[in-house]
Structure 1
């Protein structure tokens, strides 16, 4: 079983990958829902929407927990792949409710307008770029690391480098020993 330290490092790296990368954007408060519709199979241009679903959507949901994200996966081999963004008019009192950490009652918002993005035969980065452009979302950027984390990262890099040097040194010594043994055997034979 891995040590608690290595598990913590793995978890920290996993959380970092959820917080950052393509799809890490903060949507404006007037977006009430995002709906994806694409096929199960990646045939006929549905690979980009599938990758968007797997890579970008979790990051969007992480940064926007109040936005409903509905995914519809169809079994048809052909058909459209769309991303529908539902906008709503947000009254001032609901804006204050959205900023609270814990809501007492769920906020039900009526859709006033929608925008469709065609995802067929497109890369996830292009889909995300158009989503950010059409919604005026702000991309999330990670704040700088604390000095303790920087020191730990430097320490781990040096430690890993030393381990690799030692490993390669042992491998070279084993190869030399094997060659020397083979040479002795050929001389004795």
Structure 2
């Protein structure tokens, strides 16, 4: 994993691992459990982040998706990265999340020009996801006496 993905982490290796694991666990604002009807979440995004409209979805993929995967092991998560060569092709690539339900129906969340927090809110509203209780969020305490 790239260091740029996890900015602001401690320099100690063990403290970095603790911080990464705690980031994946999430917070009450970012940790949600999907209902039993949600079977698959598919993100569609450009291969290269050259289109400003997809920058929020890319940040969602990096920051919010690991938390959702951690709390929803029964849901399949896929990422479809589309390669576009020309400006016309770039404009044609949808920036969206496709929600696949157990009955075979699909719904879409448009993510163009949205921040990662707005995308999370739209996804939660579209799926009826329930926030994880703070008591159920298991974090690793940072040791007070650690070696650098």
Give the aligned partner of residue 113 of structure 1.
Answer: 105
Give the aligned partner of residue 131 of structure 2.
Answer: 139
Per the alignment, do residues 145 and 87 of structure 1 end up closer, same or farther by CA in structure 2, a change over 3 Å counting? closer
Give the aligned partner of residue 87 of structure 1.
Answer: 101
Give the aligned partner of residue 20 of structure 1.
Answer: 26
Residue number among 68, 83, 91 corresponding to 1:60 in the alignment = 68
Q: Distance in 2 between matches of 1:29 and 1:145?
A: 20
Per the alignment, do residues 8 and 141 of structure 1 end up closer, same or farther by CA in structure 2, a change over 3 Å counting? farther
Tell me the C-alpha RMSD between the 2 structures.
2.6
Higher strand share: 2
Q: Distance in 2 between matches of 1:71 and 1:139?
A: 23
Give the aligned partner of residue 33 of structure 1.
Answer: 40
Q: Check conservation: 1:40, 1:74, Cα contact below 8 A.
A: yes
- How big is the shift at 1:7? 4.3
Higher helix share: 1
| SS, match of residue 58 in structure 2 | helix
**Residue ranges of structure 1 left out of the alignment (5+ in a row):** 1-5, 89-110, 160-189
With the length of structure 2 as denominator, give the TM-score of the two structures: 0.73
2:80 maps to 1:72: yes
- How big is the shift at 1:9? 3.6
Q: Check conservation: 1:23, 1:55, Cα contact below 8 A.
A: no
| SS, match of residue 114 in structure 2 | coil
Q: Which has the higher contact order (CA 8 A, sep 6+)?
A: 2
| SS, match of residue 71 in structure 1 | strand
Per the alignment, do residues 144 and 68 of structure 1 end up closer, same or farther by CA in structure 2, a change over 3 Å counting? closer
- Per-residue CA distance 1:25-66 (angstroms, 9 max, x = gap): 111111111111110222141101111111111111111111
